Amino acid sequence: MTVATKPTCDIKDPKLAAGGKKRILWADRDMPVLARIRERFAKEKPLRDLRMSACLHVTAETANLARTLQAGGADVLLVASNPLSTQDDVAASLVHDFGIAVHAIRGENNDIYYQHIVAALEHEPQITMDDGADLVSALIFVALDRLDDVHVKVREWAAKLPPAERQRLISQIIGSMEETTTGVNRLRAMERDGVLKFPVISVNDALTKHLFDNRYGTGQSTLDGIVRATNVLLAGRKIVVCGYGYCGKGVAARGRGLGAQVIVIEVDPIRALEAAMDGFAVMPIADAAKIGDIFITVTGNAGILRREHFLKMKDGAMLANSGHFDVEIELPALKEEAASVSTGLRPHVDEYKLRNGNRIYVLGEGRLVNLAAAEGHPPSVMDMSFATQAMATEFCVKNKGKLAAKVHPVPVEIEQFIAQHKLASMGVAIDDLTADQKRYMSGWEQGT
């Protein structure tokens, strides 16, 4: 049977389902490309009888992806990819209204988070989907018998399995989809180290993902989270954007659009040059720390805002992170420098009063501020990302056994399909090349 009639779940409150369904269907109105794929999947069943475990942010937009995978015939189990990104009403609705297994609770501690990862592993998936590669990394550590490198909950579960069973779990994986830059970086490191045992489609690197989701989605939702958490006026403030990748570009552009004075921090000379020519101030973090009002990390790296920077910051500085993991702001060091810590000053705002008297405010516990303090990316942009996820999954299944155990790009034809249908849904028409133009572009004989 493809979908369990009584799906397993560990959610906050089943009574929240009615509100969650409204939220899911509201998002669905602005996700027409994914809806079109779901309609086709329902007819063709390209994922028939496949077990899928997905470790993603449990939001209304993700719910519509899960519905699409289910429509394609998959037996889907969904767990959270971040302790603060789950929308509890959405989780309840997925279980109650759509019959999809969910193990996710907003605010879950690390033990519960990894107990939910165990639930995803116990599902014995043939396809996985990740936002940060926590699920895949757990699978690989278990298969390699490196149980000291996994959380205790995963270790306790895996220790009960004989070695042959651990190998079977990983050997049955057809492929995986990865949603975010952090996850792709981890997966490429796995490939480099020779431990990646199945193909992975890098959805994050698709143009229909990072050009739009990372730039427009992160740009808008990050500032949305900051404003919801603080109610601060951004106009006239000095916003320090740490990182000028696509996420940083989006945050910087949106900040300037709201009247902020934007300063960019970079280590890559090309990106720093681009930021300077885009009209932003560019300087080292040691200099920006003295003058910034709001600091936003979007690098995907660790230790971006550190002890020496906290000590230079002015009274009232605000720190927010939109990188995947909560390691970009060194919170343990900030806590050591604080004379007192007041949590919950406002929802998603904690105050650290330093021994020098200055106050520093951390938003969303240093986790993804756009999901901790807001609702994540708007559905219109996630329409493209999740349409890419769905079609990449279908591609992976259709090419079972043909793809090498490495990180693969999303096929160009999938990207073209999604872009064309997104334009059509927006009422935008474009031109086609004429026959003469095609000949000119493909030839070499005609010059000046």
Q: pLDDT tens for residues 187-209?
A: 999 999 999 999 999 999 999 99
Q: What pLDDT, on a 0 to 100 scale, did the predictor assign at position 340?
A: 98
CA dihedral 8, 11, 14, 16 (to 10 degrees): -140
pLDDT at 2 over 60: no
pLDDT in tens, 378-403: 999 999 999 999 999 999 999 999 99
Q: How many CB atoms lie within 10 A of CB 442?
A: 7
Q: What pLDDT does 341 receive?
A: 98
Residue 43 near residue 77 (C-beta atoms within 8 A): no
Note the pLDDT of residue 6: 64
Q: Is the pLDDT of residue 108 over 90?
A: yes
The rounded mean pLDDT for the chain is 96
Both tokens of residue 307?
A: 């002890």
Bridging pattern class, strands 281-282 and 127-130? unpaired
Q: Which two tokens stand for residue 99?
A: 């019959």
**What pLDDT is recorded for position 4?**
40
Torsion angle, alpha carbons of 414, 416, 418, 421, to 10: -140
Question: How far apart are alpha carbons 58 and 62 in whole angstroms?
Answer: 6
pTM summary value: 0.93
E strand or H helix that includes residue 440 = helix 435-442
| 243-289 pLDDT tens trace | 999 999 999 999 999 999 999 999 999 999 999 999 999 999 999 99
364-379 pLDDT tens trace:
999 999 999 999 999 9
Q: What pLDDT, on the 0 to 100 scale, is given for residue 325? A: 85
What residue type is assigned to position 227 of the chain? V
Q: What is the pLDDT of residue 3?
A: 40
43-76: pLDDT as tens digits: 999 999 999 999 999 999 999 999 999 999 999 9
| pLDDT above 70 (res 122) | yes
Give percent of the chain above pLDDT 90: 96
Longest dimension (CA), the chain: 74
**What is the structure's pLDDT at 370?**
96
For residues 183 and 445, which has the higher predicted lDDT (pLDDT)? 183
> Could you give the CA distance from residue 417 to residue 438 in angstroms, rounded to a whole number?
20
In angstroms, the Cα distances linking 15 to 20, 90, 92 are: 10, 11, 7
- pLDDT given for residue 1 in this prediction: 31
Helix (H, G, I), strand (E, B) or coil at 8: coil
Let me know: does 112 contact 105? Beta carbons within 8 Å. yes
The predicted model gives 7-27 an average pLDDT of 96
- Cβ(88)–Cβ(105) below 8 Å: yes
